[in-house]
Structure 1
Amino acid sequence: MSDITQDQVVEYLSGLTVMQLVDLTKSLEDKWGVEAAPAPVAVAAGPAAGGEAAAEQTEFDVVLKNFGEKKIQVIKAVREITGLGLKDAKELVESAPKAIKEGVEKGEAEEVAGKLKDAGAEVEVK
């Protein structure tokens, strides 16, 4: 076996598409007999009251507030957006309010929010 550095592995993985990463995750789960659980989503605290005026916001969070009456369509949209499996996407949707994307640019946040709204969800961009 050749000596591959951690940096080389990271560089290779950085070049994969989301779908390739999902396939890789499934293969590793099968090979090692484990299940990859989604990382807990931390919610950032807002600015302190009376603090200095904040600079223009450059990073946004897309929060699913409610899945509405079209739960299945919202789960499909969450799967498309996040690359999660069916079970994980369902759990994420059912645990609303929950952040779907964090720290993304305004354009991406609006696009993600639009997809979720089109699916019937109530969404907030923070």
Structure 2
Amino acid sequence: MMMKNVSRTMTTRTVAPRPAMRRTRAVPSVVVKSAATDEIVEKLKDLTLLEASELVKSIEETFGVDASAPVGGGMMMAAPGAGGGDAGAAEEKTDFTLQIVEVDASKRIAAIKVVRSLTSLGLKEAKDAVTNLPFDILKDQPKEACEEAQKQLEEQGCKCALV
């Protein structure tokens, strides 16, 4: 067998040098706590929900912030117009919840029928709603719809609350 003489020429490519990679060491984050901060946190742990709610309202009024507004970056931002004026004016509530508080035992069946007509509940769920009180029958509905449903329920011996 005869072999052919194949010569390969090697080409040299020039490759641009890579930039030197910086190696950084992980620096542990140090959190400095003051005694005053620790004391406040300990006091907050002992608050009831009602006291915590009052504290939030007080902080909102004192510093002109809104605790319900999402704020990015962990910074607190002042609410618009916090400098004075109508800062204490509340917005008018538009969505209401109708709650059945009490049902006359002699009119329970009629109340179940009204609950079924007002909601998409089945017979068992409507019966449970009328027996396990208080029960939210309508949630986040306009005031007119809640008042109409309340009128129908009260005609059948139910006591309702508009929340």
Larger Rg: 1 or 2?
2
Q: With CA pairs under 8 Å and 6+ residues apart, which has the higher RCO, 1 or 2?
A: 1
Which TM bucket (shorter chain)?
0.5 to 0.7
- In structure 2, the CA distance between the partners of 1:53 and 1:97, relative to structure 1 (3 Å rule), is farther
What is the aligned-residue identity percentage?
33
How many residue pairs align between the two structures?
Answer: 79
Structure 1 residue 54 displacement after superposition: 2.9
Give the Cα–Cα distance (whole angstroms) in 2 for the partners of residues 99 and 54 of structure 1: 25
Secondary structure in 2 aligned to 1:102?
strand
Q: Give 1:7-86 correspondences, 5 Å limit.
A: 48-49=53-54, 50=57, 52-69=88-105, 70-86=107-123
TM-score of the superposition, structure 1-length normalised? Answer: 0.58
In the TM superposition, structure 1's runs of 4+ consecutive aligned residues that sit over 2 Å from their partners are: 48-54
Alpha carbon RMSD of aligned pairs, Å?
1.6
Which structure: greater helix fraction? 1
Q: Note the residue ranges of structure 2 that are not aligned, 5 or more in a row.
A: 1-52, 62-87
The superposition leaves residues 32-69 of structure 1 with CA deviations (integer Å, 9 ceiling, x where unpaired) of xxxxxxxxxxxxxxxx4456553111000000001113
Give the Cα–Cα distance (whole angstroms) in 1 for the partners of residues 154 and 128 of structure 2: 19
Give the Cα–Cα distance (whole angstroms) in 2 for the partners of residues 99 and 108 of structure 1: 14
Give the Cα–Cα distance (whole angstroms) in 1 for the partners of residues 137 and 114 of structure 2: 11
Secondary structure in 2 aligned to 1:57?
coil
Kindly provide the amino acid, as one letter, of the partner of residue 123 in structure 1.
Answer: C
Give the Cα–Cα distance (whole angstroms) in 1 for the partners of residues 95 and 157 of structure 2: 24
Give the Cα–Cα distance (whole angstroms) in 1 for the partners of residues 116 and 146 of structure 2: 16
Q: Note the residue ranges of structure 1 that are not aligned, 5 or more in a row.
A: 1-47
Structure 1 residue 108 displacement after superposition: 0.2
Kindly provide the amino acid, as one letter, of the partner of residue 148 in structure 2.
Answer: E
